[in-house]
């Protein structure tokens, strides 16, 4: 099992397969994807090698992310390669949901077990103004189908003071009859979004206080479950959660490593740099790749330094997949 010097164990890999995105979310790519160079993204063969090397080191869950992962034409094959790897029990994906209705059946058939979909507002006009795309109805239709197919569905909403801060009631109404988990994520500062962050960052704590006052019970989660705090309520089919990266001890439960679409290992979402392991991925020598991963993990820091406004090499989260 991959373990760092602080005793944290890493059974969860977030694997970015592209940094291209078709949306232009205000906090991420407000001017849309800037295609500056030709990008040599990880091939299916390289992805298969990564999955098997990590699985042999105790990784049991892979999340496919981006950019927008559904823009890769070979996404079903990527899902299948991960799902067919011995030791990988969960294949998850994070998506903007744009391609859900037409493709969700084939992704589930390929082995997808859970999906996080980003919906920052349930008001179609607000949704369009945040993402640049009037696609809320399409995404909601895709979510219904994903629930029908029986996979675990979570919805991520980034909290923004001037956009969706007043929407708690609308989201709660939706959760009365919709069996999924909605998680509010506190807006994080990145290299590119400082002005937007300063205007829009708001803490999740008042929402947590409101939920508790309204009878929502915090769910005791497995030690390995990651940083979200989740709540349930007997009157609601859905659950609600909060991801508060600025809260104390957020990094103490870190259980994940990240690989960018260009084959760099990121020990933290906000580390100084990606560590180039592409040569070890490409040459197919699993032992060498594993030795390299174990050595590099020695440099993982105890925490991010977001509180000090330090965002490392991360210009925006489309670079790495969140
Ligand atoms: N394109 C896919 C999507 O939007 O779901 C996957 C990649 S996206 C970078 C992954 C997640 O990061 C999304 O839920 C998105 O809302 C979130 N995200 C992006 N930038 C963020 C920021 N600055 N602060 C907090 N969350 C952010
Ligand atoms: Fe694209 Fe996801 Fe970033 Fe939105 S958050 S611009 S959908 S990568």
Protein residue whose Cα sits closest to atom 8 of ligand 1: 321
Is 283 buried (19+), middle (13-18) or exposed (0-12) by CB count in 10 A? Answer: exposed
pLDDT at 233: 98
Q: Please identify which residue in the block is written with the tokens 């209705």.
A: 101
- Is 5 inside a domain boundary? no
Q: At 203, is the secondary structure helix, strand, or coil? A: coil
- Is 7 inside a domain boundary? no
Q: Closest-lying ligand to the alpha carbon of 71?
A: 1
- Is 201 inside a domain boundary? yes
pLDDT at 304: 80
- Is 4 inside a domain boundary? no
The whole domain housing 182 covers 12-319
pLDDT at 224: 63
For ligand 1, mutation pick of 67, 75, 93, 94 (most atoms within 8 Å of CB): 94
- Is 161 inside a domain boundary? yes
pLDDT tens, residue by residue, 125-149: 999 999 999 999 999 999 999 999 9
Count of structural domains within the chain: 1
pLDDT at 104: 98
Regions of the chain with pLDDT less than 70? 36-37, 223-224
Protein residue whose Cα sits closest to atom 11 of ligand 1: 322
- Is 238 inside a domain boundary? yes
Considering the entire predicted model, what is its pTM?
Answer: 0.96
pLDDT tens, residue by residue, 82-95: 999 999 999 999 99
Q: How far apart are CA 310 and CA 306, in angstroms?
A: 5
Centre of ligand 1 to C-alpha 317, Å, is 6
Q: Is 28 in the pocket of ligand 2 (CB under 6 A)?
A: yes
Q: How far apart are CA 257 and CA 194, in angstroms?
A: 25
CATH number, residue 227: 3.20.20.70
pLDDT tens, residue by residue, 22-68: 999 999 999 999 986 678 999 999 999 999 999 999 999 999 999 99
For ligand 2, mutation pick of 22, 63, 118, 196 (most atoms within 8 Å of CB): 118
What's the gap between Cα 16 and its chain centre?
10
pLDDT at 25: 98
- Is 173 inside a domain boundary? yes
Q: Is 67 in the pocket of ligand 2 (CB under 6 A)?
A: yes
Question: Would you list the DSSP string of 100-134?
Answer: HHHHHHHHHHHT--EEEEE-S-SSHHHHHHHHS--
């Amino acid at each position: 099992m991959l373990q760092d010097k602080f005793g944290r164990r890493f059974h969860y890999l977030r694997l970015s397969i592209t940094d291209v995105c078709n949306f232009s979310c205000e906090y991420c790519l407000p001017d849309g994807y800037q295609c500056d160079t030709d990008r040599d993204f990880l091939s299916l063969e390289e992805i298969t090698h990564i999955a098997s090397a990590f699985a042999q080191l105790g990784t049991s869950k892979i999340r496919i992310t981006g950019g927008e992962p559904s823009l890769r034409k070979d996404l079903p094959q990527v899902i299948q390669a991960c799902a067919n790897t011995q030791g990988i029990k969960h294949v998850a994906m994070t998506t903007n949901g744009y391609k859900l209705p037409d493709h969700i059946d084939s992704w589930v058939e390929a082995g997808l077990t859970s999906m996080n979909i980003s919906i920052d507002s349930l008001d179609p006009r607000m949704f369009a103004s945040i993402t640049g795309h009037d696609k809320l109805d399409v995404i909601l239709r895709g979510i219904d189908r994903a629930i029908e197919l029986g996979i675990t569905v979570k919805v991520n909403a980034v909290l923004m003071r001037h956009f969706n801060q007043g929407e708690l009631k609308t989201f709660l109404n939706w959760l009365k009859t919709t069996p999924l988990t909605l998680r509010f994520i506190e807006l994080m500062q990145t290299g590119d979004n400082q002005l937007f962050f300063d205007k829009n960052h708001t803490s999740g704590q008042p929402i947590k206080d409101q939920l508790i006052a309204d009878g929502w019970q915090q769910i005791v989660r497995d030690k390995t479950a990651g940083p979200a705090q989740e709540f349930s309520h007997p009157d609601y089919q859905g659950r609600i959660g909060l991801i508060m990266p600025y809260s104390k001890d957020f990094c103490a439960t870190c259980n994940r490593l990240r690989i960018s679409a260009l084959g760099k290992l990121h020990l933290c979402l906000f580390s100084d740099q990606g560590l180039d392991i592409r040569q070890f991925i490409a040459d197919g020598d699993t032992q060498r790749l594993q030795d390299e991963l174990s050595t590099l993990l020695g440099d993982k820091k105890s925490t991010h330094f977001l509180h000090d406004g330090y965002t490392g090499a991360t210009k925006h989260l489309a670079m790495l997949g969140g």
